[in-house]
Amino acid sequence: MKVDLSWIDYLIMLIYFIFVLGIGWFLRKFMKNANAFLEAGRAMPAWVAGLAFISTNLGALEVMGMTGSGMKYGMMTTHFYWIGAIPAMIFLALFMMPFYYGSKARSVPEFLKLRYDEKTRGLNAILFAVMTILASGISMYALAILMENVLGWDFNISLWISALIVLGYTYLGGLSSAIYNEVLQFFIIVIGLLPLAVLSLKDIGGWVGLKSKLAPIALSHGFAADTFTTTWKYSGHATSNPLGVEWFGILFGLGFVLSFGYWCTNFLIVQRAFAAESKTAARKVPLIGALPKMFIPFLIIVPGVIALALFNDPSKGFTLPLDASGKPIYDYTIIMLLKQYLPAGVLGLGITALLASFMSGMAGNVSAFNTVWTYDIYQSYIRPATGDEEGDGKHYLRVGRVATVFGILLSIASAYIASKFGNIMDFLQTIFSMINAPLFAVIFLGMFWKRTTGHAAFTGLLLGFIAALLHHGLTVPEGATTLVKGGWITVLHTYPVEMAQNFWTAIIAFGVSTVLTVSLSLLTRKLKSDKELKGLVYSLTPREIDDKSLPWYERPAGLAILVSVVAIVLTVIFW
């Protein structure tokens, strides 16, 4: 199952490395203070920030995971895009970005401080910092182990080299460098995976050929013949589709709670829009990102669906490595497809695309981590600003750079922990991913209900998180063999699949958090005056529309309509 690379493949990778580091090198002279380094000087054009917005989400785990899920669940995996991302991105752009950007907050935790109070910020900042390091360590581990198993590269060398390259360009050019490189990486990922998508579809006989090849496989699983090539058609019952979730879980769990929690509150993503040059530009960022986002399934999910057909056709000679229990390792689907179809040359491009996806995700984590550390932890609790703007700017720039180095070193450490105690890391990541749903409840209520108080928000955030933990501790997906998957208190309920458990964990966290925040807000005294909340809460902010003179496609509302129409058309075509 080893893939042999030739000199030309390595040459392409080398050129890519030179360019990403070169961009950092060129930008280093602009990094005069913390504002330039951590916020990119709020000077990014909308299209640059928009592509970076989508690229940072397109990390290695996303690419590997979505192709693997395509093979496991078929076209239903596109729910993670069309229903599980687009509505949230539109909502973020139109309704939340005016308050995020207008508040002048430099991070999501800082927004919580402005809207609520110090303790809410502190809680969120600390949880976020830990989650970011864990996530980047886990994806670094996943990449290094893939490179070791498939390309025969040494685990330690690929881990350190890829981490040091990301360190190099984020240390030199900060958020600007991360964003510029994310745009470059976005194009590499698209171009690098394009030949794979086209060749695999041609090989299987086009969409019609794929459908006919998948019909017997679906029937043998006890599903309807076209289950793997449709999205909503068999979502009436959890048992009639491979995802194991019915339409309500998909619509509310994935489409609302998980997706709004991720896209609207995850600072790693939102930070790209914060870097935009104006409020109108910031509002356009998620929408510009949404346009390519809708078509990414054709690059990474459809090849995974094709892999399912190839896997069941011995004449194609397509295999996947097996794990200890003899089950195929789905995360390897993408690289085994690259091996199957791409000759030397474009193969190097495909591998470079995987490296680029890893780096865009990791740089996103690092640049979000150093900002939260510098502004929300260091500046708030260790050394507050002195009032000397220039001196402070230089001081926090140094702190930001040191935080970048430490962030990378901690990620490397967590990658090694993941390699020794994979289960523990999976468990921690599952737990920390539970902070998003309560966070969305708290930020949403804060933006649209002026009565929401700091004490209520803090309690809602904390107890929503604890409710998610309890739900995870009391339920398991069917066939779970380790406590990592849940049921570590006792088992009260068994879900048919892990996905259903995840959806319900998020729904419960969101529900508990909303109910608590609302009821406690009514019981506690409002400590912030209406004047202090101006620009942070919908009803207290004067509506100013400054984009009337722009053509429709340059206005956030116009773009939002375009994005919605395309998403609806795609949903109907693949219903």
CB 132 to another protein: min, Å: 25
Which is nearer to another protein, 16 or 274 (by Cβ)? 16
In the complex with another protein, the residue whose CB is nearer, 318 or 465, is: 318
C-beta pairs of 536-540 under 8 Å, 24+ apart in sequence: 536/99, 536/103, 536/111, 536/114, 536/115, 536/446, 536/447, 537/99, 537/115, 537/446, 537/447, 537/448, 537/449, 537/450, 538/95, 538/99, 538/447, 538/448, 539/448, 539/450, 540/450
- Min dist CB 26 to another protein, Å, is 6
As measured in angstroms, the least distance from the Cβ of 348 to another protein is 8
Could you tell me the smallest distance in angstroms from the CB atom of residue 8 to another protein?
5
**In the bound complex, what is the minimum distance in angstroms from residue 187's beta carbon to another protein?**
6
Q: Which is nearer to another protein, 27 or 135 (CB)?
A: 27
Report how far residue 87's alpha carbon sits from residue 67's, in angstroms, rounded to the nearest whole number: 22
Please answer whether residues 38 and 374 qualify as being in contact, where contact means their C-beta atoms are separated by less than 8 angstroms: yes
Residues that bind another protein (CB under 8 A): 8, 11-12, 15-16, 19, 22-23, 26-27, 30, 43, 48, 176, 180, 183-184, 187, 191, 194-195, 199, 202-203, 340-346, 349
- To 10 degrees, the CA torsion angle through 89, 93, 95, 100? 110
| CB nearer to another protein: pick between 358 and 440 | 358
Decide whether 15 or 413 has the Cβ nearer to another protein: 15
CA distances from 172 to 20, 31, 323 (A): 11, 8, 40
Task: Name the minimum Å distance from CB 30 to another protein.
Answer: 6
- State the minimum distance, in angstroms, from the CB of residue 55 to another protein: 12
Match 């402070």 to its residue by tokens: 392
The three-state secondary structure class of 307 is: helix
Nearest to another protein of 204, 408 (CB atom): 204
Residue ranges in 204-250 assigned as alpha helix (H): 206-220, 247-248
Among candidates 203, 207, 367, 200, which has minimal Cα distance to 272? 367
Q: Identify which of residues 102 and 292 has a Cβ nearer to another protein in the complex.
A: 292
Query: Strand, helix or coil at 399?
Result: helix
Minimum distance, C-beta of residue 153 to another protein, in the bound complex (Å): 21
Q: Which is nearer to another protein, 22 or 479 (CB)?
A: 22
**Cα–Cα distance between 64 and 71 in angstroms, integer?**
11
- In the bound state with another protein, the residue whose beta carbon lies nearer, of 43 and 518, is 43
**Is residue 485 within a helix (H) or strand (E), and if so which, with residue range?**
none
- Say if CB 101 and CB 447 are below 8 A apart: no
The least distance separating another protein from the CB of residue 180, rounded to whole angstroms, comes to: 5
Q: Is the Cβ–Cβ distance between 350 and 127 less than 8 Å? A: no
For 180, the 3-state DSSP assignment is helix
